[in-house]
A and B are shown apart, each in its own frame.
Chain A
Amino acid sequence: MAASRWLELEREAREVRRRMADWDFIRRQPLRVRLALEYYIETGDLYVASRIAGVTVEEMNELRVRANIPNVA
């Protein structure tokens, strides 16, 4: 698959995450968690997001679910 097609898929996934996210929930979170959720929405990278929030990947995944952000893959 061409790199441009991968980039297009990335853009589509980001739009789905942005559209479905519960932004009120995200804005109510402590700084690190809020930034981690926003990072996840932009990149879809759960591992790095967990490190930003200072939690395990599974705990980050729970935050993702509570924030209604789909894992697009």
Chain B
Amino acid sequence: MFAVADTCFLIDWARWRRRDALFGVFRTVFVPESVLGEVRSEATLSWVVESMAQGRLSLFTETPDLIEEARSLVERTRLVPGLRGVDLPEAVCLVAGRRWRYVVLTENRGVLMAADILEEYRGVRVWRALEVIAAALRSGVIASSRPAEVFAEYEEDTKHFFPRRDLEAVLHELGGEA
């Protein structure tokens, strides 16, 4: 399974102690060039470059036609009442997800809304860290009898906050404590 990651997902995920679990869930995670340019710290950059050398992360070069479609998506998200606007870097990932059936990794709620509300993007799978961790636990990539602790670790390492209803639903499905 392939995925494409946007900046807000990748830089948060890179702070997590179990960050390599990503590569047990996905064969390759594509990183758009625009995302790579946003990474500056030695810790994150080292992890990204090392993972690229191992073929687990892969550079994704945006083409002019993809950017054109992404720009169009940016405009559309600003025309639909109640829909949060999506910026170009996230739009690029959503367009790539639709074209090549990649799972889109993001923490951007605008992307989640667009994939839910805009008909032509409705089939695109958009995952947050919540869904990636759940997939890793479900498949045994992360072995833990206490899933809640794994999510708590992520919150602690990244200063992330999983919406409680979503987290409880995932923990219930995993058979762990809510």
* CB-based contact B116/A73 at 8 Å: no
* CB-based contact B40/A58 at 8 Å: yes
Q: What A residues does B64 contact at CB under 8 A?
A: none
A57-B8, A57-B38, A71-B159 are known contacts. Are A6 and B90 too (CB-CB below 8 A)?
A: no
* CB-based contact A45/B11 at 8 Å: no
Q: What A residues does B158 contact at CB under 8 A?
A: 65, 71
B41 within 8 Å of A (CB atoms): yes
Q: What B residues does A20 contact at CB under 8 A?
A: 161
- A45, B39: Cα distance in complex, Å: 17
* CB-based contact A6/B82 at 8 Å: yes
B113 within 8 Å of A (CB atoms): yes
- A57, B7: Cα distance in complex, Å: 7
* CB-based contact B109/A64 at 8 Å: no
Within 8 A of B (CB), among A16-64: 16, 20, 44-48, 50, 56-59, 61-62, 64
- A16, B109: Cα distance in complex, Å: 15
Q: What A residues does B44 contact at CB under 8 A?
A: 58
Which of A46, A69, A70 gathers the greatest number of chain B CB atoms within 10 Å? A46
* CB-based contact A71/B40 at 8 Å: no
Given A3-B117, A50-B38, A71-B107: 12 more A-B contacts, CB < 8 Å: A3-B113, A13-B163, A44-B109, A47-B89, A56-B39, A58-B40, A58-B41, A61-B12, A62-B41, A71-B158, A73-B108, A73-B162
- B contacts, CB < 8 Å to A: 7-8, 11-12, 37-41, 44, 81-84, 87, 89-90, 107-110, 113, 116-117, 128-130, 155, 158-163
